[in-house]
Amino acid sequence: MCADKLEKLTKTQTIDLRAKLIGPSCKIFFSDDPIKIVRARGQYMYDEKGQRYLDCINNVAHVGHCHPDVVSAGALQMETLNTNSRFLHDNLVLYAQRLQATLPAQLSVFYFVNSGSEANDLALRLARQYSGSQDIVTLDNAYHGHVTSLIEISPYKLHHMPHVPLNPFVHVAPSPDVYRGRYRRDHPDPAKAYADEVRDVIKRVQTQGGKIAAFIAESLQSCGGQVIPPAGYFQQVAEHVHKAGGLFIADEVQVGFGRVGTHFWAFQLQGDDFVPDIVTMGKPIGNGHPMSCVVTSKEVAEAFASSGNEYFNTFGGNPVSCAIGLAVLDVIAKEDLQGQALRVGGYLISLLEKQKSKHPLIGDIRGRGLFVGVELVRDRSKLTPATAEAQEVIYWLKEERVLMSADGPHRNVLKFKPPLCFGTDDADFVVDKMDAVLTEIEAAIGLNAANVLNGENDVN
């Protein structure tokens, strides 16, 4: 049925049908008063009343909601050919060639799949086949996907399921959080200290008779609180992992494709001397179209093929998905969206830094490009999480037509991951709104800059 012939439901009808037909664990934003979105364009989304919302969190719509070039590429290919990758077609190899040009030369073999979860699951299979082992080292507060193999390596989810035992093949190292973690910015070498924690985990596994298949990490932790690992951390971890016979998997599902501004891939922030063994991609790769990718070296790919099992994916790498992926790369280049992320992200962070000097609720601002976190605390010295206040901020902003979310282990980190067409005017708008709501909240709880300066910054 064509979209214009679909039955039009009222918001109440949509809510009622959702409650009746959709699984109760499938949550929605602003569940107390959800927004019914009916269309979107660029960095804006519109409800059924035509009200416009500034989207600060939708990193899936990487080049902008409903970008005409992406829509056109998909529609044109769909009316020409769509089939599975067992038939020879040009789009698959042309897209792989374009992606490879953005990556280090060693990463040259591609597997196309349909979601970030599917990509990370396949990455674990590759690593386990290559190493002949099962043990995986993951980071605390990490999230890698919703399938069983990935929930097992996602402490972000496991912390909310205390009745679920940790898989004996999964081992958790501390998140390299230099603001709230075990080793902070005042530590002489936090990268080495956190890498040594991974080394110690590996040693414990080996002492117990295990062998490491892989270490997996988001290049920048997103759900874990917009965490930026210290420079040099990945190199040192990779050294420990390789020495143990395992592989390094970099999860770029949320942060790739130019979002960090200075580089196309977030793992490149660690330096030119660091190359993961496997990289996974998703979300922004198709600007909302369900596609994802795993890329690795020829050595790892050949080890996977030697298992004798043919790898086939019905929809992965189909002509329509590849046409859309190519269009996304074209738009990033044509509109200089990586440069936009660098310029606007820097401007946004500068605005937020000014707010930090004004608002004692802001404990930390961290980010690269248009991947930015604002951690709210009730006490800057004790780092008391301002969880309730963060929720109040996002609901207040919703009423001001700004879509924001809060995440991290304490749900107190405001996240900026907007479409890369997000501009300086948008940054001005959202920061002005944040200024107003933080002023109101701080007045209500008796927290002000003078208290902080006098050391009286803990509130009840």
Q: What is the pLDDT of residue 47?
A: 96
Confidence of residue 312 (pLDDT cuts 50, 70, 90): confident
Considering only residues 358 and 157, tell me which one the structure prediction assigns the higher pLDDT.
Answer: 358
Q: Which CATH class is domain 68-334?
A: alpha beta
Q: pLDDT tens digits for 40-71?
A: 999 999 999 999 999 999 999 999 999 999 99
The mean pLDDT value for 11-25 works out to: 92
Q: What is the pLDDT of residue 455?
A: 45
Whether residue 457 has pLDDT greater than 60: no
What CATH homologous superfamily does 34-63+337-453 map to? Aspartate Aminotransferase, domain 1 (3.90.1150.10)
Whether residue 451 has pLDDT greater than 70: no
Mean pLDDT of the chain: 94
The mean pLDDT value for 263-289 works out to: 97
The backbone region for 145, taken as left when phi is positive above 0, alpha when psi lies in -120 to 50, beta otherwise, is: left
Residues in the chain: 460
Confidence of residue 161 (pLDDT cuts 50, 70, 90): confident
Whether residue 460 has pLDDT greater than 50: no
Q: pLDDT tens digits for 246-257?
A: 999 999 999 999
Give the residue among 228, 452, 225 at the shortest CA–CA distance from 361: 452
Q: Quote the percentage of the chain above a pLDDT of 70.
A: 96
The mean pLDDT value for 446-458 works out to: 59
Q: What is the pLDDT of residue 454?
A: 43
List C-alpha distances in Å: 437 to 276, 322, 428, 434: 42, 43, 15, 5
The mean pLDDT value for 228-253 works out to: 98
Max mean pLDDT range (15-19, 26-30, 202-206): 202-206
Q: pLDDT tens digits for 120-133?
A: 999 999 999 999 99
Q: What is the pLDDT of residue 157?
A: 86
Q: pLDDT tens digits for 87-119?
A: 999 999 999 999 999 999 999 999 999 999 999
Confidence of residue 449 (pLDDT cuts 50, 70, 90): low
Q: What is the pLDDT of residue 344?
A: 98
Q: pLDDT tens digits for 355-408?
A: 999 999 999 999 999 999 999 999 999 999 999 999 999 999 999 999 999 999
Q: What is the pLDDT of residue 2?
A: 56
Q: Which two tokens stand for residue 224?
A: 């874990």
Confidence of residue 425 (pLDDT cuts 50, 70, 90): very high
Considering only residues 328 and 307, tell me which one the structure prediction assigns the higher pLDDT.
Answer: 328
Q: What is the pLDDT of residue 450?
A: 58
Q: What is the pLDDT of residue 453?
A: 44
Cα-only R_g, the chain: 22
Whether residue 31 has pLDDT greater than 90: no
Confidence of residue 456 (pLDDT cuts 50, 70, 90): very low
The structure's pTM equals: 0.94
Q: In the chain, where are the structural domains located?
A: 34-63+337-453, 68-334
> Please, how many CA atoms are within 13 Å of residue 186, restricted to the half-sphere of its CB?
1
Q: What is the pLDDT of residue 174?
A: 97
